[in-house]
Chains A and B, each alone.
Chain A
Amino acid sequence: MELTLKNITKTFDGFVALENITFTVKEGEFVCIVGPSGCGKTTLLRIIAGLEEPTKGEILLDGEPLSHHERDIGFVFQEYGLFPWRNVLRNVEFGLEIRGIPKEERTRIAKKYIEMVGLSKFERNYPHELSGGMKQRVGIARALAVNPKLLLMDEPFGALDAQMRNILQEELANLWMKEKKTVLYVTHNVDEAIFLGDRILLMTASPGRIKEDITLELPRPRDRASPEATALRKRILETLREEIIKSL
Chain B
Amino acid sequence: MKSSYYFWTDISPKWRERKFRVVSLVIFIVLWYVLSLWIRELPTPVETATTFYQLITVGEPILGRTLQEHTLASIKIVLKGFIIGTVIAIPLGIIIGRYKLAENLLNFIVETFRPIPPLAWIPLGFVLFRGLKETGWFQIISHLLGLGTSVAAMVQVFVVFVGAFFPILLNTIQGVKAVNPIYIDVARTFGATEREIVWKIVIPASFPNIITGIRVGLGVGWMCVVAAEMIGGSSSGVGLFIWDMYSIGGGSAEIVCGMIAIGLVGYIMNEVLLFVQRRVFKWS
| CB <8 Å contact, B282 and A94 | no
Q: Which residues of A contact B207 (CB under 8 A)?
A: 85
| CB <8 Å contact, B282 and A126 | yes
| CB <8 Å contact, A83 and B189 | no
Q: What's the Cα separation between A99 and B189 when bound, in Å?
A: 12
In chain A, what residue has the closest Cβ to B193?
Answer: A98
Interface size on B, residues (CB 8 A): 20
Q: Which residues of A contact B182 (CB under 8 A)?
A: 77, 79, 81
Closest Cβ of chain A to B200, distance in Å, is 7
| CB <8 Å contact, B200 and A97 | yes
Residues of chain B from 18 to 33 with CB closer than 8 A to chain A in the complex = none
| CB <8 Å contact, B204 and A73 | no
Interface size class of A (residues with CB under 8 A): 20 to 34
Whether, in the assembled complex, A40 has its beta carbon less than 8 Å from a beta carbon of chain B, the answer is no
Q: Which residues of B contact A70 (CB under 8 A)?
A: 191
| CB <8 Å contact, B185 and A50 | no
| CB <8 Å contact, A49 and B189 | yes
Whether, in the assembled complex, B205 has its beta carbon less than 8 Å from a beta carbon of chain A, the answer is yes
> With A81-B183, A83-B204, A126-B282 in contact, is A75–B191 under 8 Å at CB?
no
| CB <8 Å contact, A127 and B185 | no
Q: Which residues of B contact A146 (CB under 8 A)?
A: 190
| CB <8 Å contact, A98 and B192 | yes
Whether, in the assembled complex, A156 has its beta carbon less than 8 Å from a beta carbon of chain B, the answer is no
| CB <8 Å contact, B205 and A98 | no
Whether, in the assembled complex, A245 has its beta carbon less than 8 Å from a beta carbon of chain B, the answer is no
| CB <8 Å contact, A98 and B191 | yes
Residues 202-214 of B, flagged 1 when their CB comes within 8 A of A and 0 if not, give: 0011010000000
Residues 52-80 of A, flagged 1 when their CB comes within 8 A of B and 0 if not, give: 00000000000000000011011101010
> With A75-B186, A98-B187 in contact, is A83–B201 under 8 Å at CB?
yes
Whether, in the assembled complex, A38 has its beta carbon less than 8 Å from a beta carbon of chain B, the answer is no
Whether, in the assembled complex, A118 has its beta carbon less than 8 Å from a beta carbon of chain B, the answer is no
Whether, in the assembled complex, A197 has its beta carbon less than 8 Å from a beta carbon of chain B, the answer is no
Whether, in the assembled complex, A84 has its beta carbon less than 8 Å from a beta carbon of chain B, the answer is yes
Q: Which 4 A-B pairs have the closest CB atoms?
A: A75-B189, A95-B190, A81-B186, A81-B182
A-B contact pairs, 29 of them (CB 8 A): A46-B185, A49-B189, A50-B188, A50-B189, A51-B185, A51-B188, A73-B189, A75-B185, A75-B186, A79-B182, A81-B182, A81-B183, A81-B186, A83-B183, A83-B201, A84-B284, A85-B284, A86-B204, A94-B186, A94-B187, A94-B200, A95-B190, A97-B200, A98-B187, A98-B190, A98-B191, A98-B196, A126-B282, A128-B284
Residues of A within 8 A of B (CB): 46, 49-51, 70-71, 73-75, 77, 79, 81, 83-86, 94-95, 97-99, 126-128, 146
